[in-house]
Amino acid sequence: MNAEKVLLISGSPKKEGNTAQALHKCSTILKSLGLQTELLSLAGRNIQACAACGKCIGSGECSLNDGLNEIANKIRSARGLIVGSPVYFGTARGDLLNVLQRVGMLSYNNDKFLSWKVGGPVAINRRGGATSTIQELLMFFFINEMVVPGSTYWNILYGKKPGEAMQDEEGVRTLLRFAENVGKLILRLR
């Protein structure tokens, strides 16, 4: 049997910033459990907001030609999904929300391909707003019937400059346990 795959999406505009570094840590844990991983960065992409055109209903594809269908297909073929976002003014980055909302519409209006995927959100922030960002991202997972395992605390890391978040010992421990729980749950649900 082929190894199950987890897609990790970084919503940061910095390809190797704290969000990507956190997701790399998750990837290492998931690989140690025998899972395949792919890290997808939204840096440099221009993913538009949903146009609410309804053209995706029954077609399985979004009518906007900006790379979202490629991302949706990667999510469709993965067993797990972890999304990471830096916190901007107490919320997740808009381009990440554009991706999640459009993928959610594709799933809802077609074959509900998000249902029973395992994963959850990670938030990286300098000061405050991380819990509201986690809550905001959890809405996507819950409304799409996805399975979100817990950890020892919220999946939050603190840091501003690249690498600073990796110095948040409690945050990193929480993140690693979350990644381990995602992996173990995927293997249990086989």
Domain interval for residue 174: 5-188
The number of folded domains in the chain is 1
- Give the orientation angle of helix 94-108 with respect to helix 68-77, to 10 degrees: 60
Tens of pLDDT, residues 178-189: 999 999 999 999
Q: Domain of 21: which CATH number?
A: 3.40.50.360
Tens of pLDDT, residues 30-83: 999 999 999 999 999 999 999 999 999 999 999 999 999 999 999 999 999 999
Torsion of CA 31, 141, 108, 55, to 10 degrees: -80
Token readout for 150 is 């817990």
Tens of pLDDT, residues 68-119: 999 999 999 999 999 999 999 999 999 999 999 999 999 999 999 999 999 9
| Number of residues that make up the chain | 190
